[in-house]
Amino acid sequence: MGLGYDMVEALVRENKYKPLTGEVVLIGRQTIYYQPHEIIALLRDNEYDISSIDPKSIELDTNTIDRRQPYDKVDLISDTGLFKLLGVPKIRALDHSAYEGADIIHDLTQPLPDKLKNFADFIVDGSTLDNTFNPAATIKNYAEFLKPGGRLLAINQYSNHHNPYVLMHPLWYLDYFTMNKFSDCKVYIVVYRPEDHTNIFCINLEYLMDKNRQVSTFTSNHEMAVIVLAEKGPNSTADMFPSQQHYRSDAEWETYRNNLAVIQKSKRPHVVRTHKDITFFDVKGGHLLIGSDFSERDPSTEMRRTAPVDYAKRKSHNLAKRGAIKLLKAIAS
């Protein structure tokens, strides 16, 4: 398990918004894909005071294994070293065994013992949920593990590129935290495009608040992941399991929208971004691009601005496809 650029920048930005304190727990020890000079540059770009940081004093990773190539050939900072730079003197790691030196041993598919409930102030999941047989039990454990006011930052696979055991839809996360009255929940879809750069999108909450619209499934042939940042509120629960949007009753929708309205009011800035212009154009309804300035942007507007020829071709193709479908339906009837 490991934390790449997007997750580390998310940690840096979240710590700037609301400093990490108390019990910080990693779900498994994490490989941090940053060298000392790279993390210092990131901190500087996010307006941290780096004047007293000596690159040679940053703790290096000598414990984690199975690094991605070519990072097995370079010195990377340790997870402990990263959190020390963020002002967290000590972190813990939870795993189902003592693998890589975990100090809290628990199988997250099993009920959480009382001693671990309301324990953590901050949880980092660097791709564990997608490797569990029972992700619903695991996310419930995360919710119970957190103290009120505690936060979860997680990244998990949304495409079958690296042998995940399960894949969860972005709405699966948002719906769970919404129905359990979390005070905030941001869900991001990461589309990895090695030929240019990563594109990051979020769910347009206005679509879920509108009775006449729905969020479409986000699909891609590219590798994808979902990043979630959720904050537990004073009245949050853990045992409410939502219905999918297509099968939700009117009463469930009313509860859902009332809870979602609280999340909409959050002042928390976005923690991840697309660093350049949009390059992934097949964006379905109900999603927004996160721009390089961390702002929400309409994908269609960005497509027209950055690639008007490609956008026109795609629009023409979609119109022709819809026409062909209508013709086939007319013939069939």
Please state the three-class secondary structure of the chain as a single string: CEECHHHHHHHHHHHHHCCCCCCEEEECCCEECCCHHHHHHHHHHCCCCCCCCCHHHCCECCCCCCCCCCHHHCCCECHHHHHHHCCCCCEEEEECCCHHHCCEECCCCCCCCHHHCCCEEEEEECCCHHHCCCHHHHHHHHHHHEEEEEEEEEEEECCCCCCCCCCCCHHHHHHHHHHCCCCEEEEEEEECCCCCCCEEEEECHHHHHCCCCCCCCCCCCCCEEEEEEEECCCCCCCCCCCCCHHHCCHHHHHHHHHHHHHHHCCCCCCCCCCCCCCCCCCCCCCEEEECCCCCEECHHHHHHHHCHHHHHHHHHHHHHHHHHHHHHHHHHC
In the chain, the percentage of residues whose pLDDT exceeds 90 is 79
Residue 2: the pLDDT is 85
Residue 243: the pLDDT is 96
Residue 7, pLDDT > 90, answer yes
In the chain, the percentage of residues whose pLDDT exceeds 70 is 90
Q: What is the pLDDT of residues 200-240, one digit of tens each?
A: 999 999 999 999 999 999 999 999 999 999 999 999 999 99
Q: What is the pLDDT of residues 172-192, one digit of tens each?
A: 999 999 999 999 999 999 999
Residue 294, pLDDT > 80, answer yes
Residue 313: the pLDDT is 61
Residue 67, pLDDT > 90, answer no
Q: Where are the domains of the chain?
A: 2-308
Residue 227: the pLDDT is 98
Residue 324, pLDDT > 80, answer no
* Mean pLDDT of all residues in 314-325: 58
Class of CATH domain 2-308:
alpha beta
Q: What is the pLDDT of residues 83-109, one digit of tens each?
A: 999 999 999 999 988 767 788 999 999
Residue 140, pLDDT > 90, answer yes
